[in-house]
């Protein structure tokens, strides 16, 4: 959140909250199990690829990346995005 004109404004969704003075505030966003982190545009071309079967189209190549979604003492989650159809899915351990 950023402080603008006497209120805090969320950079992602635009939610505004009036405050009397500038102060630091932490907002925790809860994620549903179905949400997948978004990787867009030109960034895809720089990601590594691997041989894995896409569950949507059967293509055998996908970009992959790791993301820490839980506490630091838990393992990272591997995400894949099909190079053909763009379907994104995660690998469960």
Q: Active-site residues: which are they?
A: 73-74
3-state secondary structure of 22: coil
- Return d(Cα 56, Cα 85) in angstroms, integer: 8
């Amino acid at each position: 959140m950023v402080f603008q004109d006497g209120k805090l404004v969320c950079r992602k969704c635009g939610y505004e909250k009036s405050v009397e003075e500038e102060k630091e505030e932490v907002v925790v966003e809860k994620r549903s199990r179905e949400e997948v982190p978004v990787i867009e545009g030109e960034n895809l071309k720089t990601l590594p690829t691997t041989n894995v079967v896409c569950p949507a189209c059967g293509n055998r190549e996908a970009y992959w990346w790791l993301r820490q979604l839980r506490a630091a003492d838990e393992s990272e989650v591997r995400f894949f995005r099909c190079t053909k159809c763009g379907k994104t899915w995660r690998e469960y351990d």
